[in-house]
Amino acid sequence: MKSPAVNQAMEILREMRQITGGNYPIQEKLEQIVALIARKMSADAANCYVAVDDYTLELFASYGFNAGVSHKVYMRYGEGLVGEVAQNNHSLAVADAWKHSKFSYKPELGEDNLKSFLGVPLIRWNRAVGVLTIQNHKIHNYSAAEIESLETVAMILSELLASDEMTEYKKELSRTRGQADREKVKGVSLSKGYGLGNAVVHRRRQAVTQIFAEDIQKELRRLEIAHQTMNEDLEKKFNSTRLGIGEHVEILDAYRMFAQDKGWYKKIADNVNGGLTAEAAVERAYEDMWKRLSGTTDTYLKERLHDLRDVADRLQSYLRGDYGAIENITSDDIIVVALSMGPADLMDYDYTKIRGLIIEDGTPTMHVAIVAKALGIPVVAKIKGIFSEIKTGELLAIDGNDGYVYQNPSALVQKRFHEKIAEKIRLQAKLEELRDKPSVTKDGKKINLSINVGLAFDLDYIASTNCDGVGLYRTEIPFMASEVMPDVERQQKYYQELMDKAGDKKVIFRSLDVGSDKLLPYWANMGEENPAIGWRSIRITLDRRAILRKQVRAFLRAADGKELNVMFPMISNLSEFEEAKETLLIELEKEKRRGRGVPRKVNVGLMIEVPALLFQLDAILKKADFISIGTNDLAQFIFACDRGNPRLTERYDVLSSPFLTMMGEIIEKADKYGVYCSVCGEMAGNPIEAMALIGLGYRNLSMSGSSFGRIKSMVRSANAEQLKDYIHTLLKSQKKSLRPQLISYACDHGIEIY
Ligand code: PEP
Ligand code: MG
């Protein structure tokens, strides 16, 4: 004899089979199925949620709730009772759902009168790919038989979810959503932030039509007037006090000098004297320079070519007399779209109105990107064909965090962008409010929060964030920005400036970390096949010892009378560390012999970036004064996954058991030896990841200045001891990512992770 549960399930399955075999759309089938289940199981309501990605469940069909809610309600894995069922891959029966700690009220559903809840997972390959629920108005203890019935039905429904019909339907849904947002296109983010505004297509270049001059004297006069007016205008534009100080101002100054360069002007005038029109002469001068420099792999010189192209285009527009055209913009919120662009072009617009910048041919080292970043303008680049597609006036939304551009965004997307922009303003205000509050968890654990410094404007974050120190000074950045290798005096000046700005705060200098993606303009590209694991970083400075000696001498001098902390990057074994440390100690002795002042104390540490070190950690910790974990490089080597390859960015997660277990072992050992240990890779600047690090026992985090406020509010809303317990349980899970669970944990425990 079959059990009542089996009988009930069999009855439902029989009718379900008729529905699934029917010749009508799958959406209708799902709706009929949930209605059938509710009816047969004497429930007042039923829902079917389907996973749309690794973290999200979408309501696909419902019965007994408000009309039209399908495809409008979303739940994270772990969120509410439905998310709980999906996350644990386990059925859940609750007599009074409202009293359950996990209950999450969704007003749009209209579930106010529903009390009891039964949810079962829709399982495929051991993973919940959806959730089926029934609910009742009255408080009701679902029996074992009812649970078994629903689980049996769920098995069959899972088959339907895995069918080709469903796969096609999901594809179709995402296609139509994409169309509603009229093309959401992916590019590369060069500056973070969100912006919404009307497109202004930046066109400057036009073909030169008249090549030969009819009257050379007249051409020379035209050239002189255009050149002079252009330079006067540049003076006015760049003298804005609102630009503040920093590297972007240096870039603009360099540009202005370029435009005033006498050699360049003379070349153009010579070309006119040779019979060309002023326009053709400008082009010829550019082409000559291009021929000389275009073969170079040198990024610095390439940037100079960009600047030259930009100045040439600017001069052309003055010759044509159409330079004022872009001032006739009425919108207060604009998104500039350009094929390519120089830093000065950006200043042609009222930059207080620029909400975003899209550069089809943009690169991260492009000067306009650096200037835009300093001005807080989001930038997205490398979207093929976007320049010719977008028309001036069109509404655009730009997501500089993930590198997306939405053309004519739907009302929903616009709403989301308005919220994100408002959120940013709120965050800014919050940061100011938090500035003088301690970075202490709810259970009283002090978390030292430092910032990473590289570009000149990063120095301003020391005061604005009121951080505990500078956990990483990337000394290679001033080396990269310089035209020649800076000598000891010049370096000392940079380091001194940082020490002065930091006052009593701890500063950690990192020795030159060049190579891989960080190339020096005055060094030829090595042309290595695998530069990330090539001759880079400490490998270069140990082989070219004079560079290291000079740099540590500059460190010692800049820290005269103070505490000096120096760390060496990309160390692969203890011997390399010892060699580097010895170089520093020899220089220290030399300085003393020279009768110079020296630091009050010198601490020497290293970065943990190469996995081999993890097998020599005890020996390292006996010798190092401190360690700092460069999770960017460490993760790329642990997962054998290029950190700069966009195709791989979401493939492996540092929030997974192997990586977190390793991080847990490092901090445990460092604590055992009493060695200061911090994290200075991107992990420390991302709230959810930093939260996991605190759970593992990390108490020193160093991040970019722009992430500081979010991390501080996360710290102040977290409980370190509770996190510790949770993370250690979580580490047992072998899922490819523990991110959804950690996000749910943060949401459930009121930890601010946004
Ligand atoms: C790292 O690798 O995590 C790190 C901080 O160094 P960089 O990003 O400068 O390589
Ligand atoms: Mg690194």
Question: Do residues 316 and 205 make contact, with C-beta atoms less than 8 angstroms apart?
Answer: yes
Determine the pLDDT at residue 457. 66
* Lowest-confidence pick of 98-112, 215-229, 707-721: 98-112
CATH of span 4-176: 3.30.450.40
Q: Tell me how far the alpha carbon of residue 703 is from its chain's centroid.
A: 12
Residue nearest to atom 8 of ligand 1 (CA): 632
Residue reference for tokens 């523990």: 738
CA of 475, nearest ligand number: 1
Cα 587 to ligand 1 centre (Å): 26
CA of 452, nearest ligand number: 1
- Using most ligand atoms within 8 A of CB, pick from 509, 513, 518 the residue to mutate for ligand 1: 513
Nearest-atom number in ligand 1 for the CA of 452 is 5
- Using most ligand atoms within 8 A of CB, pick from 452, 455, 470, 474 the residue to mutate for ligand 1: 474
For residues 620 and 284, the model is more confident at: 620
- Using most ligand atoms within 8 A of CB, pick from 607, 663, 700 the residue to mutate for ligand 1: 607
**pLDDT tens digits, 465-477:** 999 999 999 998 7
Ranges of beta strands (E only) in 157-286 are: 184-186, 188-191, 194-202
Where residue 147 falls among pLDDT bands split at 50, 70, 90? very high
User: How far apart, in whole angstroms, are the C-alpha atoms of residue 169 and residue 159?
Assistant: 15
**pLDDT tens digits, 533-581:** 999 999 999 999 999 999 999 999 999 999 999 999 999 999 999 999 9
337 has pLDDT over 60: yes
From 545, 565, 546, 547, select the one nearest 555 (Cα to Cα): 565
418 has pLDDT over 60: yes
**pLDDT tens digits, 32-41:** 999 999 999 9
Residue nearest to atom 9 of ligand 1 (CA): 474
Nearest-atom number in ligand 1 for the CA of 476 is 9
Radius of gyration of the chain (CA): 31
User: How far apart, in whole angstroms, are the C-alpha atoms of residue 528 and residue 617?
Assistant: 30
Do the bridges between strand 379-381 and strand 354-359 make them parallel or antiparallel, or are there none, so unpaired? parallel
User: How far apart, in whole angstroms, are the C-alpha atoms of residue 33 and residue 48?
Assistant: 9
Helices (H) and strands (E) in the chain, counts: 27, 22
644 has pLDDT over 80: no
Residue ranges around ligand 1 (CB below 6 Å): 472, 474, 513, 609, 630-633, 680-681
Nearest-atom number in ligand 1 for the CA of 680 is 5
The rounded percent of the chain whose pLDDT value lies above 90 is 49
Longest C-alpha distance within the chain, in Å? 110
Which ranges constitute the DSSP H helices of 136-204? 144-161, 164-180
Nearest-atom number in ligand 1 for the CA of 516 is 10
Cα 423 to ligand 1 centre (Å): 29
For residues 506 and 372, the model is more confident at: 506
For residues 735 and 370, the model is more confident at: 735
CA of 629, nearest ligand number: 1
CA of 644, nearest ligand number: 1
Where residue 635 falls among pLDDT bands split at 50, 70, 90? very high
Bridge partner residues of 379 (DSSP) = 191, 357
Cα 102 to ligand 1 centre (Å): 39
From 341, 283, 353, select the one nearest 307 (Cα to Cα): 341
For residues 269 and 651, the model is more confident at: 269
Cα 605 to ligand 1 centre (Å): 15
Q: Which two tokens stand for residue 43?
A: 């429930």
DSSP states of 421-440: HHHHHHHHHHHHHHTTS--B
Residue nearest to atom 6 of ligand 1 (CA): 630
Nearest-atom number in ligand 1 for the CA of 569 is 6
Determine the pLDDT at residue 241. 47
265 has pLDDT over 90: yes
Cα 92 to ligand 2 centre (Å): 46
Residue nearest to atom 3 of ligand 1 (CA): 630
Cα 634 to ligand 2 centre (Å): 8
From 301, 249, 308, select the one nearest 284 (Cα to Cα): 308
646 has pLDDT over 80: no
Residue nearest to atom 4 of ligand 1 (CA): 630
Question: Do residues 689 and 655 make contact, with C-beta atoms less than 8 angstroms apart?
Answer: yes
Nearest-atom number in ligand 1 for the CA of 633 is 2
Cα 214 to ligand 1 centre (Å): 59
Mean pLDDT over the full length of the chain: 87
Supply φ then ψ for residue 628, to 5 degrees.
-135, 130
Q: What count of other Cβ atoms lies within 10 Å of the Cβ of residue 111?
A: 23
Cα 578 to ligand 1 centre (Å): 21
324 has pLDDT over 70: no
Question: Do residues 626 and 565 make contact, with C-beta atoms less than 8 angstroms apart?
Answer: yes
Cα 578 to ligand 2 centre (Å): 19
CA of 518, nearest ligand number: 1
- Which residues fall within 8 angstroms of residue 386, CB to CB, at 6 or more apart? 185, 187, 337, 358, 360, 405
Nearest-atom number in ligand 1 for the CA of 631 is 3
**pLDDT tens digits, 466-518:** 999 999 999 987 787 676 789 999 999 999 999 999 999 999 999 999 887 67
Domain locations in the chain? 4-176
User: How far apart, in whole angstroms, are the C-alpha atoms of residue 404 and residue 401?
Assistant: 8
Cα 118 to ligand 1 centre (Å): 48
Determine the pLDDT at residue 642. 83
Nearest-atom number in ligand 1 for the CA of 683 is 3
Do the bridges between strand 127-136 and strand 116-124 make them parallel or antiparallel, or are there none, so unpaired? antiparallel
Nearest-atom number in ligand 1 for the CA of 474 is 9
Ranges of beta strands (E only) in 176-332 are: 184-186, 188-191, 194-202
Question: Do residues 645 and 595 make contact, with C-beta atoms less than 8 angstroms apart?
Answer: no
Determine the pLDDT at residue 205. 63
DSSP state of 446: B
Phi/psi class of residue 385: alpha, beta or left (left: φ > 0; alpha: ψ in -120 to 50)?
Answer: left
What are the angstrom distances between the C-alpha of 448 and each of 445, 506, 699? 10, 11, 6
The model's pTM: 0.62
Cα 610 to ligand 2 centre (Å): 9
**pLDDT tens digits, 669-703:** 999 999 999 999 989 998 999 999 999 999 999 99
Determine the pLDDT at residue 526. 65
Q: Which two tokens stand for residue 237?
A: 């534009």
Cα 537 to ligand 1 centre (Å): 11
Nearest-atom number in ligand 1 for the CA of 629 is 3
Do the bridges between strand 74-76 and strand 56-63 make them parallel or antiparallel, or are there none, so unpaired? antiparallel
Cα 234 to ligand 1 centre (Å): 37
Determine the pLDDT at residue 326. 54
